[in-house]
Structure 1
Amino acid sequence: MTTRTISPDRHRSLGDQTWQADAVCQSTEYNPVDPETFFPEPDETDKIAAAKSLCGQCPVRRTCLDAALEGGDTDGIRGGLTEEERGSLHEKLAHRLDYSRVNDTIGGRDVHLTKAERRAVVHAAYRHGVTEQRLAWLLKITEEHAQKLYRELRRALRNRDLDQPSETALPPETDDEHLGRDDFGTAA
C-alpha cells in the first residue's frame, strides 16, 4: 500500500508575482499563447472554452484565482473562472477564513489576509503566547495597535466566560407534604 502525503497549500506572499512564470497562459517560444484569449466578449464561447481549457491544465490556477480576488481584478478569465463566475467570490472574500493562511502567518510568512483571517491570527497568537511585538510584526501594525487587539480579545474572552450560565444544582422535585430534614439547607 502506498501512502501519499498531502502538503498544505503554499500561499503567495504579499507582492509576490513569481508564480506567473509557471502559468500556462504565459507565451513562450514553444508555447505561443494569445493573451486576447483570456479577455473574450461574453458571446465568444469558443474563446471562453479555450481559455478555461488552458486554465484547467495550469499548475498555479488556485494562486491565479487568489491573486485576482485579492487584487480586485474583475476583467478577463483568471484562475479558470470568468468575470461573472468570480463575482460571487469577490463578495464573499472578506469573510474567507482559511486556517492554512492563518497558520502561515503565525509561522512568519507574509500572506494576504482577510478581516476574518486577521482576527483568527490575533486569537491564535494570543493562545500560543505570541508577544505583542511579534504580533505587530506579523500583521504589519504598530505595537500599540497589537496591544489594543490583545486587550480587546482578553475582554471578549472574559465577557464570554461571564455570559456562560453557571451550572447550579436545582433542588429535587418534592411535594410539601414529604419534606424531611435533609431537604433544608443549613444556616451558617
Structure 2
Amino acid sequence: MHRTNTPQPRALGDHTWRDQAACNSTPHHRVDPELFFPEPDEVDRIREAKALCAQCPVRRVCLDAALENGDGAGIRGGMTEEERELLHKKLEHRLDYGRVNEVLAGRDLHLTKAERRAVVRAAYQSELPTSRLAWLLKITEEHAEKLYRRTRREIRNRAVEQQKKADKTSTSQPHALTKPKAKLPVRGDLRTAA
C-alpha cells in the first residue's frame, strides 16, 4: 500500500502544528521571526524565508491556517502576501474531499462554503440523523433539518431538470426503428435537358 506524506488538516483551534514548523526558533536553531515579514523589495530576505519554508514539514498546514484566518501579512506557507492574494479570494470555493471525509469521520475542521455543502449532501445521502449532522457542523438540529430540506430540494430539482433534458433529447431525435421518409422532388427541382 502506497502512503502519501500529506499532513492531516488541522482541527479548529489547533496550533500544535507550529511546534513542527521550520520557522520555530529553538536554542539550537535560531530563526529571526522578522525574516518572514520583509518589505516587497527585500528580495534576499524573501528568498531566505522561502528556502526555510521549502524545508518545512507543515508548510501546507501553515498556508491553510493563513488562508482560513484571513492572515494577509508576511510569508506564510512558502508564499508572499501577493502570492496568497488570489488564494484568499478563491478560498470559499475550495472543495477538498479529504477535508470533507475528515469531518464526516468526526474531526473538527475549518470548512469552506463548498466543503460544508458537500458534508451536508454526503450526510443526507448516507442518511445520517440530523443530530449527527448538527454535531459534525456545530449547528443546531433545527439548522441541520433546514440544510437537509434544502439538499433534498436541490437533489429533486436536479433530477427533474435531467429528466426534462432527457425527454427533450428523445423527442428531438427520430426513433431508430422508424425510417425517415424520402423527400420526393417537386417539379421545380427537376431540370430539363436543353
Q: Tell me the TM-score normalised to structure 2 length.
A: 0.84
Q: Secondary structure at the match of 1:33?
A: coil
Q: What letter matches 1:138 in structure 2?
A: L
C-alpha separation in 2, matches of 1:30 and 1:7:
26
Q: What letter matches 1:158 in structure 2?
A: R
Structure 1: stretches of 5+ with no match in the other structure? 177-188
C-alpha separation in 2, matches of 1:175 and 1:24:
77
C-alpha separation in 1, matches of 2:7 and 2:31:
27
The alpha-carbon deviation at position 49 of structure 1 amounts to 0.6
Q: Which of 145, 151, 160 is matched with 2:143 structurally?
A: 145
Matched with 1:73 is 71
Alignment RMSD (CA, Å):
1.7
C-alpha separation in 1, matches of 2:6 and 2:82:
29
C-alpha separation in 2, matches of 1:35 and 1:99:
34
Q: Secondary structure at the match of 1:26?
A: coil
Q: In the alignment, is the contact (CA less than 8 A) between 2:7 and 2:61 conserved in 1?
A: no
Q: Secondary structure at the match of 2:73?
A: coil
How many corresponding residue pairs?
174
Q: Which structure's CA Rg is the greater one?
A: 2
C-alpha separation in 1, matches of 2:139 and 2:6:
27
- Identity of matched residues, %: 60
Matched with 1:181 is none
Matched with 1:12 is 10
Q: Tell me the TM-score normalised to structure 1 length.
A: 0.87
The alpha-carbon deviation at position 8 of structure 1 amounts to 5.6
Q: In the alignment, is the contact (CA less than 8 A) between 2:75 and 2:81 conserved in 1?
A: yes
Which residues in structure 2 correspond to 1:121-136 (within 5 Å)?
121-136=119-134
The alpha-carbon deviation at position 127 of structure 1 amounts to 1.1
Q: Secondary structure at the match of 2:144?
A: helix
Q: Which of 25, 30, 33 is matched with 2:23 structurally?
A: 25
Greater than 4 Å deviation, 4+ residue runs? 166-171
Judged with a 3 Å threshold, the aligned counterparts in structure 2 of structure 1 residues 50 and 8 are, in CA distance, closer, same or farther, namely closer
What are the Cα deviations for residues 60-93 of structure 1, in whole angstroms up to 9, with x where unaligned? Answer: 0000000000000000000000000000000010
